[in-house]
Protein backbone atom coordinates (compact mmCIF):
# COMPACT_ATOMS: atom_id res chain seq x y z
CA UNK A 1 0.00 0.00 0.00
CA UNK A 2 1.43 3.38 -1.01
CA UNK A 3 1.03 6.72 0.68
CA UNK A 4 -0.51 9.43 -1.45
CA UNK A 5 1.52 12.26 -2.98
CA UNK A 6 -0.52 14.67 -0.84
CA UNK A 7 0.68 13.02 2.33
CA UNK A 8 4.24 13.01 0.99
CA UNK A 9 4.04 16.75 0.50
CA UNK A 10 2.93 17.22 4.10
CA UNK A 11 5.62 14.90 5.43
CA UNK A 12 9.08 15.84 4.20
CA UNK A 13 11.67 13.09 4.53
CA UNK A 14 15.43 13.50 4.82
CA UNK A 15 15.89 11.25 1.80
CA UNK A 16 13.99 8.92 -0.51
CA UNK A 17 15.54 5.83 1.10
CA UNK A 18 14.10 6.70 4.51
CA UNK A 19 10.70 7.39 3.02
CA UNK A 20 10.78 4.08 1.14
CA UNK A 21 11.71 2.18 4.30
CA UNK A 22 8.80 3.79 6.12
CA UNK A 23 6.32 2.89 3.38
CA UNK A 24 7.45 -0.73 3.34
CA UNK A 25 7.12 -0.91 7.13
CA UNK A 26 3.76 0.82 7.53
CA UNK A 27 2.06 -0.81 4.57
CA UNK A 28 1.52 -4.30 6.09
CA UNK A 29 0.44 -2.73 9.42
CA UNK A 30 -2.35 -0.72 7.83
CA UNK A 31 -4.72 -3.65 7.34
CA UNK A 32 -3.80 -5.23 10.67
CA UNK A 33 -4.65 -2.12 12.69
CA UNK A 34 -7.13 -0.48 10.27
CA UNK A 35 -4.76 2.46 9.81
CA UNK A 36 -6.02 5.27 7.57
CA UNK A 37 -2.81 6.19 5.79
CA UNK A 38 -4.26 9.30 4.17
CA UNK A 39 -4.62 10.87 7.66
CA UNK A 40 -0.88 10.63 8.42
CA UNK A 41 0.33 14.03 9.70
CA UNK A 42 3.09 15.52 11.86
CA UNK A 43 2.46 15.19 15.60
CA UNK A 44 5.56 16.71 17.18
CA UNK A 45 9.33 16.88 17.14
CA UNK A 46 11.85 17.25 19.94
CA UNK A 47 15.43 18.25 20.53
CA UNK A 48 16.73 14.90 19.29
CA UNK A 49 16.67 13.42 15.80
CA UNK A 50 13.37 11.67 16.50
CA UNK A 51 10.07 12.92 15.15
CA UNK A 52 6.50 11.83 15.77
CA UNK A 53 3.60 11.34 13.35
CA UNK A 54 -0.08 10.80 14.12
CA UNK A 55 -2.43 8.63 12.09
CA UNK A 56 -6.10 7.77 12.52
CA UNK A 57 -6.94 4.09 12.95
CA UNK A 58 -10.06 2.08 13.62
CA UNK A 59 -7.98 -0.44 15.50
CA UNK A 60 -6.60 2.06 18.01
CA UNK A 61 -8.13 2.42 21.48
CA UNK A 62 -8.35 6.21 21.21
CA UNK A 63 -8.91 6.29 17.46
CA UNK A 64 -5.31 7.11 16.55
CA UNK A 65 -1.73 5.94 16.84
CA UNK A 66 1.53 7.87 17.15
CA UNK A 67 4.50 6.76 15.05
CA UNK A 68 8.07 7.36 16.20
CA UNK A 69 10.50 7.93 13.34
CA UNK A 70 13.98 7.52 14.84
CA UNK A 71 16.72 7.14 12.20
CA UNK A 72 18.97 4.33 13.50
CA UNK A 73 22.16 6.15 12.53
CA UNK A 74 21.21 8.85 15.07
CA UNK A 75 18.83 7.21 17.56
CA UNK A 76 18.36 3.85 19.27
CA UNK A 77 14.75 2.89 20.07
CA UNK A 78 15.69 0.00 22.38
CA UNK A 79 15.94 2.12 25.56
CA UNK A 80 12.49 3.56 24.82
CA UNK A 81 11.00 0.07 24.47
CA UNK A 82 12.69 -1.14 27.64
CA UNK A 83 11.58 1.79 29.80
CA UNK A 84 8.07 1.73 28.29
CA UNK A 85 7.70 -1.84 29.52
CA UNK A 86 8.99 -0.95 33.00
CA UNK A 87 6.69 2.07 33.24
CA UNK A 88 3.63 0.14 32.06
CA UNK A 89 4.33 -2.56 34.65
CA UNK A 90 4.56 0.18 37.29
CA UNK A 91 1.05 1.38 36.43
CA UNK A 92 2.07 4.63 34.77
CA UNK A 93 0.17 6.14 31.85
CA UNK A 94 2.81 5.86 29.13
CA UNK A 95 2.65 5.06 25.40
CA UNK A 96 2.36 1.34 24.72
CA UNK A 97 4.59 -0.08 21.99
CA UNK A 98 2.14 -1.73 19.57
CA UNK A 99 4.60 -2.55 16.77
CA UNK A 100 8.36 -2.11 16.52
CA UNK A 101 11.06 -2.31 13.90
CA UNK A 102 14.17 -1.82 16.02
CA UNK A 103 16.60 -2.10 13.13
CA UNK A 104 14.94 0.66 11.11
CA UNK A 105 13.90 2.84 14.06
CA UNK A 106 10.11 2.79 13.57
CA UNK A 107 7.63 2.35 16.45
CA UNK A 108 3.83 2.32 16.40
CA UNK A 109 2.63 3.67 19.75
CA UNK A 110 -0.66 4.16 21.53
CA UNK A 111 -1.75 7.81 21.46
CA UNK A 112 -2.06 9.71 24.75
CA UNK A 113 -3.88 12.66 23.20
CA UNK A 114 -3.17 16.11 21.84
CA UNK A 115 -3.00 18.38 24.89
CA UNK A 116 0.47 18.78 26.39
CA UNK A 117 0.76 19.86 30.02
CA UNK A 118 2.77 22.89 28.95
CA UNK A 119 -0.12 24.26 26.87
CA UNK A 120 -2.64 23.48 29.61
CA UNK A 121 -0.54 25.15 32.32
CA UNK A 122 -0.02 28.29 30.26
CA UNK A 123 -3.79 28.66 29.87
CA UNK A 124 -4.75 27.47 33.37
CA UNK A 125 -6.16 29.40 36.30
CA UNK A 126 -4.11 29.11 39.51
CA UNK A 127 -6.51 26.45 40.80
CA UNK A 128 -6.31 24.46 37.56
CA UNK A 129 -2.52 24.69 37.51
CA UNK A 130 -2.37 23.45 41.10
CA UNK A 131 -4.55 20.44 40.25
CA UNK A 132 -2.44 19.57 37.22
CA UNK A 133 0.81 19.86 39.12
CA UNK A 134 -0.48 17.77 42.01
CA UNK A 135 -1.38 15.05 39.52
CA UNK A 136 2.12 15.33 38.05
CA UNK A 137 3.70 14.99 41.50
CA UNK A 138 1.69 11.83 42.16
CA UNK A 139 2.85 10.39 38.84
CA UNK A 140 6.45 11.30 39.73
CA UNK A 141 6.26 9.52 43.08
CA UNK A 142 4.81 6.44 41.37
CA UNK A 143 7.67 6.57 38.83
CA UNK A 144 10.27 6.79 41.58
CA UNK A 145 8.72 4.15 43.82
CA UNK A 146 7.56 1.58 41.24
CA UNK A 147 9.99 1.72 38.29
CA UNK A 148 13.06 -0.39 39.17
CA UNK A 149 16.32 1.51 38.80
CA UNK A 150 18.82 -1.32 39.09
CA UNK A 151 19.07 -2.02 35.35
CA UNK A 152 19.15 1.61 34.25
CA UNK A 153 22.39 3.46 33.35
CA UNK A 154 23.89 5.20 36.37
CA UNK A 155 24.03 8.97 36.57
CA UNK A 156 27.52 8.71 37.98
CA UNK A 157 30.45 11.09 38.43
CA UNK A 158 31.74 10.67 34.88
CA UNK A 159 28.32 11.25 33.31
CA UNK A 160 27.65 14.32 35.46
CA UNK A 161 31.03 15.82 34.54
CA UNK A 162 30.44 15.11 30.83
CA UNK A 163 27.02 16.78 30.98
CA UNK A 164 28.31 19.87 32.77
CA UNK A 165 31.18 20.19 30.27
CA UNK A 166 28.56 21.20 27.69
CA UNK A 167 28.13 24.57 29.42
CA UNK A 168 31.66 25.97 28.94
CA UNK A 169 32.01 24.36 25.52
CA UNK A 170 28.74 25.44 23.89
CA UNK A 171 27.32 28.27 25.99
CA UNK A 172 30.38 30.14 27.26
CA UNK A 173 32.70 29.64 24.30
CA UNK A 174 30.43 29.10 21.30
CA UNK A 175 27.39 31.23 22.16
CA UNK A 176 29.14 34.12 23.93
CA UNK A 177 32.66 33.87 22.55
CA UNK A 178 34.25 33.91 26.02
CA UNK A 179 37.53 32.14 26.77
CA UNK A 180 38.05 31.42 30.47
CA UNK A 181 41.49 31.93 31.94
CA UNK A 182 43.19 29.36 34.16
CA UNK A 183 41.68 30.77 37.37
CA UNK A 184 38.18 30.74 35.91
CA UNK A 185 38.59 27.19 34.65
CA UNK A 186 39.79 26.10 38.10
CA UNK A 187 36.79 27.79 39.75
CA UNK A 188 34.49 25.99 37.32
CA UNK A 189 36.04 22.60 38.06
CA UNK A 190 35.56 23.16 41.79
CA UNK A 191 31.89 23.95 41.17
CA UNK A 192 31.50 20.81 39.08
CA UNK A 193 32.90 18.69 41.91
CA UNK A 194 30.54 20.32 44.43
CA UNK A 195 27.45 19.77 42.30
CA UNK A 196 28.40 16.19 41.50
CA UNK A 197 29.05 15.41 45.17
CA UNK A 198 25.64 16.80 46.12
CA UNK A 199 23.88 14.69 43.49
CA UNK A 200 25.77 11.51 44.36
CA UNK A 201 24.99 11.90 48.06
CA UNK A 202 21.25 11.61 47.42
CA UNK A 203 19.19 8.40 47.52
CA UNK A 204 19.10 6.61 44.16
CA UNK A 205 15.81 6.19 42.28
CA UNK A 206 14.66 5.72 38.70
CA UNK A 207 15.08 9.10 37.01
CA UNK A 208 12.97 10.01 33.98
CA UNK A 209 15.64 12.65 33.13
CA UNK A 210 13.19 15.07 31.46
CA UNK A 211 10.13 15.01 33.72
CA UNK A 212 8.81 18.41 32.70
CA UNK A 213 5.45 19.78 31.46
CA UNK A 214 6.50 19.50 27.82
CA UNK A 215 6.77 15.73 28.28
CA UNK A 216 3.47 15.28 30.14
CA UNK A 217 0.03 14.98 28.56
CA UNK A 218 -3.37 15.91 29.97
CA UNK A 219 -5.36 12.68 30.07
CA UNK A 220 -7.99 11.50 32.55
CA UNK A 221 -7.94 13.32 35.93
CA UNK A 222 -5.20 12.11 38.23
CA UNK A 223 -3.41 10.19 35.51
CA UNK A 224 -1.21 12.36 33.30
CA UNK A 225 0.48 10.80 30.31
CA UNK A 226 4.27 10.52 30.52
CA UNK A 227 6.39 10.78 27.35
CA UNK A 228 10.05 10.82 26.23
CA UNK A 229 11.51 8.58 28.90
CA UNK A 230 14.13 6.88 26.71
CA UNK A 231 17.00 8.59 28.57
CA UNK A 232 15.95 7.24 31.98
CA UNK A 233 18.74 6.79 34.51
CA UNK A 234 19.43 5.57 38.00
CA UNK A 235 20.19 8.78 39.84
CA UNK A 236 19.38 11.39 42.45
CA UNK A 237 15.98 11.60 44.12
CA UNK A 238 15.65 15.34 43.43
CA UNK A 239 16.50 15.23 39.71
CA UNK A 240 12.97 14.90 38.32
CA UNK A 241 11.50 17.19 40.96
CA UNK A 242 13.87 19.94 39.81
CA UNK A 243 12.97 19.20 36.18
CA UNK A 244 9.26 19.60 36.94
CA UNK A 245 9.33 22.65 39.20
CA UNK A 246 12.12 24.59 37.46
CA UNK A 247 11.15 23.96 33.89
CA UNK A 248 12.87 25.14 30.74
CA UNK A 249 9.70 26.69 29.32
CA UNK A 250 7.55 27.90 32.24
CA UNK A 251 8.45 29.44 35.61
CA UNK A 252 6.65 29.65 38.95
CA UNK A 253 6.93 31.90 41.97
CA UNK A 254 9.18 30.58 44.69
CA UNK A 255 6.23 30.40 47.11
CA UNK A 256 4.32 28.18 44.69
CA UNK A 257 7.38 26.06 44.02
CA UNK A 258 7.97 25.50 47.74
CA UNK A 259 4.31 24.52 48.22
CA UNK A 260 4.55 21.86 45.51
CA UNK A 261 7.92 20.67 46.82
CA UNK A 262 6.39 20.19 50.28
CA UNK A 263 3.52 18.23 48.76
CA UNK A 264 6.03 16.04 46.90
CA UNK A 265 7.96 15.50 50.15
CA UNK A 266 4.80 14.35 51.92
CA UNK A 267 3.73 12.05 49.06
CA UNK A 268 7.21 10.56 48.80
CA UNK A 269 7.39 9.84 52.54
CA UNK A 270 4.04 8.06 52.42
CA UNK A 271 5.29 6.01 49.45
CA UNK A 272 8.35 4.88 51.41
CA UNK A 273 10.93 6.83 49.42
CA UNK A 274 14.09 7.80 51.30
CA UNK A 275 13.44 11.53 51.38
CA UNK A 276 15.25 13.56 54.06
CA UNK A 277 13.51 13.81 57.42
CA UNK A 278 13.92 17.59 57.29
CA UNK A 279 12.27 19.33 54.31
CA UNK A 280 15.05 21.95 54.33
CA UNK A 281 17.53 19.26 53.30
CA UNK A 282 15.34 18.20 50.39
CA UNK A 283 14.95 21.84 49.31
CA UNK A 284 18.70 22.39 49.29
CA UNK A 285 19.28 19.22 47.26
CA UNK A 286 16.51 20.30 44.88
CA UNK A 287 18.13 23.70 44.34
CA UNK A 288 21.60 22.29 43.75
CA UNK A 289 20.25 19.64 41.42
CA UNK A 290 18.27 22.29 39.56
CA UNK A 291 21.45 24.30 39.07
CA UNK A 292 23.32 21.27 37.77
CA UNK A 293 20.53 20.54 35.29
CA UNK A 294 20.20 24.16 34.16
CA UNK A 295 23.92 24.52 33.44
CA UNK A 296 23.78 21.32 31.39
CA UNK A 297 20.64 22.40 29.51
CA UNK A 298 22.15 25.80 28.69
CA UNK A 299 24.95 23.91 26.99
CA UNK A 300 22.47 21.61 25.23
CA UNK A 301 20.34 24.50 23.97
CA UNK A 302 23.37 26.32 22.60
CA UNK A 303 24.55 23.12 20.93
CA UNK A 304 21.11 22.75 19.34
CA UNK A 305 21.47 26.27 17.99
CA UNK A 306 25.02 26.07 16.65
CA UNK A 307 25.37 22.41 15.70
CA UNK A 308 21.86 21.28 14.86
CA UNK A 309 20.32 24.43 13.35
CA UNK A 310 17.58 24.82 16.01
CA UNK A 311 18.10 28.41 17.22
CA UNK A 312 14.71 28.79 18.95
CA UNK A 313 15.90 26.83 21.99
CA UNK A 314 18.42 29.56 22.87
CA UNK A 315 15.55 32.03 23.35
CA UNK A 316 15.00 30.48 26.79
CA UNK A 317 18.55 31.16 28.02
CA UNK A 318 17.48 34.19 30.14
CA UNK A 319 15.21 31.91 32.20
CA UNK A 320 18.18 29.65 32.94
CA UNK A 321 20.50 32.50 33.85
CA UNK A 322 17.83 33.71 36.27
CA UNK A 323 17.53 30.26 37.87
CA UNK A 324 21.30 29.84 38.12
CA UNK A 325 21.96 33.32 39.50
CA UNK A 326 19.28 32.92 42.16
CA UNK A 327 20.80 29.66 43.46
CA UNK A 328 24.40 30.88 43.30
CA UNK A 329 23.41 33.95 45.32
CA UNK A 330 21.78 31.82 47.99
CA UNK A 331 24.55 29.32 48.83
CA UNK A 332 28.04 30.52 49.73
CA UNK A 333 29.92 27.52 48.23
CA UNK A 334 28.30 28.27 44.87
CA UNK A 335 29.03 32.01 44.86
CA UNK A 336 32.11 31.74 42.55
CA UNK A 337 29.65 30.88 39.78
CA UNK A 338 28.32 34.44 39.90
CA UNK A 339 31.54 35.88 38.49
CA UNK A 340 31.46 33.36 35.67
CA UNK A 341 27.83 34.07 34.81
CA UNK A 342 27.85 37.85 35.01
CA UNK A 343 29.54 38.59 31.66
CA UNK A 344 26.88 36.47 29.95
CA UNK A 345 23.77 37.20 31.95
CA UNK A 346 24.36 40.93 32.21
CA UNK A 347 23.05 40.79 35.77
CA UNK A 348 24.53 42.74 38.66
CA UNK A 349 25.10 39.96 41.13
CA UNK A 350 27.58 41.47 43.52
CA UNK A 351 25.32 41.18 46.55
CA UNK A 352 22.90 38.64 47.87
CA UNK A 353 22.18 36.40 50.81
CA UNK A 354 23.64 33.02 51.65
CA UNK A 355 22.74 29.97 53.69
Residue range 2-44, pLDDT digits in tens: 554 444 445 788 889 999 999 999 999 998 999 999 899 988 7
Inter-CA distances, 261 with 3, 251, 266, 328, 355, Å: 49, 14, 9, 20, 19
Say which CATH number the domain at 279 has.
3.90.1200.10
| 355 found inside a domain | no
pLDDT at 5: 41
- Among the candidates 110, 130, 154, a domain finishes at 110
- Among the candidates 57, 88, 110, a domain finishes at 110
- Among the candidates 66, 93, 110, a domain finishes at 110
**Residues 281 and 174 both lie in one domain:** yes
**Residues 58 and 142 both lie in one domain:** no
Could you give the CA distance from residue 293 to residue 276 in angstroms, rounded to a whole number?
Answer: 21
| 354 found inside a domain | no
pLDDT at 353: 37
**Residues 61 and 208 both lie in one domain:** no
**Residues 163 and 98 both lie in one domain:** no
pLDDT at 17: 92
| 353 found inside a domain | no
pLDDT at 6: 40
Per-residue b or e along 170-206, where b marks 16 or more CB atoms closer than 10 Å to that residue's CB: bbbebbeeeeeeeebeebbeebbebbbebbeebebbb
| 65 found inside a domain | yes
**Residues 173 and 248 both lie in one domain:** yes
**Residues 247 and 320 both lie in one domain:** yes
Mark the ranges of the chain whose per-residue pLDDT is less than 50.
Answer: 1, 4-9, 347-355
Per the structure, the complete domain to which residue 71 belongs is given by 5-110
Environment class of residue 333 by beta-carbon count within 10 Å: exposed (0-12), middle (13-18) or buried (19+)? middle
| 297 found inside a domain | yes
**Residues 253 and 130 both lie in one domain:** yes
For 166-228, the DSSP string reads HIIIIIIIIIT-----HHHHHHHHHHHHHHHHHHHTSPEEEE-S--SGGGEE--STT--EE--
| 352 found inside a domain | no
The domain tally of the chain equals 2
pLDDT at 355: 38
| 351 found inside a domain | no
Torsions phi, psi for 225 (to 5 deg)? -80, 145
What pTM value is reported for the model?
A: 0.91
| 289 found inside a domain | yes
Amino acid sequence: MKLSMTVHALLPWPDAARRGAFERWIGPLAARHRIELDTLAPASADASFRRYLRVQAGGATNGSFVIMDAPPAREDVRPFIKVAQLAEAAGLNTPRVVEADVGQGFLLLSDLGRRPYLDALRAATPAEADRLMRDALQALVRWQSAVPWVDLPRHDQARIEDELALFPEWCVKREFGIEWNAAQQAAWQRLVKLLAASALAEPVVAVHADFMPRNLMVCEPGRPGVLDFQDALAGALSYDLASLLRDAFISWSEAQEIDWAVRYWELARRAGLAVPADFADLWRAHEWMGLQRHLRVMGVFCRLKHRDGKPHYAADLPRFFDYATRVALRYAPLSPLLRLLEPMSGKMVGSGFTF
